[in-house]
């Protein structure tokens, strides 16, 4: 997210709304972090720290790519909790991120690409 892109959505009766790439990234990150089995995003961004992270930290975990006008691809790296099924959690993350971004922004998410950065072992498991 080093380029600081903006995405324009058309709002009925107005000229449009600009949404920064950082905002889209925060929405996607919060959606992913809510999924059971996700420990954090790459860079150890947790549900509590995602919205406070600047673009520098957020870009280690999330990339938002223009696909076509009004369409985006979200690429993210997550840290999984040990003991969870990677395919199952990844699918849930994809669904949650797509739903959160589309609902909050009106942008169409054509793909959510997941990379498992690491597996975390908690002392409480």
H or E stretch covering 18: strand 17-20
pLDDT in tens, the chain (125 residues): 445 677 766 655 566 778 888 999 999 999 999 999 999 999 999 989 998 887 788 888 999 998 888 899 999 999 999 999 999 999 999 999 999 999 999 999 999 999 999 999 975 54
Compute CA 108 distance to the chain's CA centroid, rounded to the nearest angstrom: 14
pLDDT of residue 9: 65
Q: Is 89 contained in some domain?
A: yes
Tokens of 90: 């990844």
Say how far apart CA 103 and CA 30 lie, in whole Å: 13
- Domain range for 15: 6-120
Q: How many domains does the chain have?
A: 1
pLDDT of residue 10: 60
Q: Is 108 contained in some domain?
A: yes
pLDDT of residue 68: 84
């Amino acid at each position: 997210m080093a380029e600081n892109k903006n995405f324009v959505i058309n709002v009925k009766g107005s000229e449009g709304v600009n949404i920064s790439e950082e905002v889209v990234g925060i929405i996607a990150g919060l959606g992913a972090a809510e999924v059971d089995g996700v420990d954090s995003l790459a860079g150890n961004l947790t549900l509590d720290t995602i919205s406070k992270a600047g673009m520098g930290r957020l870009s280690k975990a999330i990339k938002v790519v223009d696909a076509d006008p009004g369409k985006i691809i979200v690429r993210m790296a997550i840290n999984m909790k040990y003991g969870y099924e990677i395919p199952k959690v990844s699918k849930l993350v994809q669904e949650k991120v797509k739903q959160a971004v589309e609902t909050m922004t009106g942008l169409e998410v054509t793909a959510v690409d997941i990379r498992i950065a690491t597996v975390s072992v908690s002392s409480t498991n």
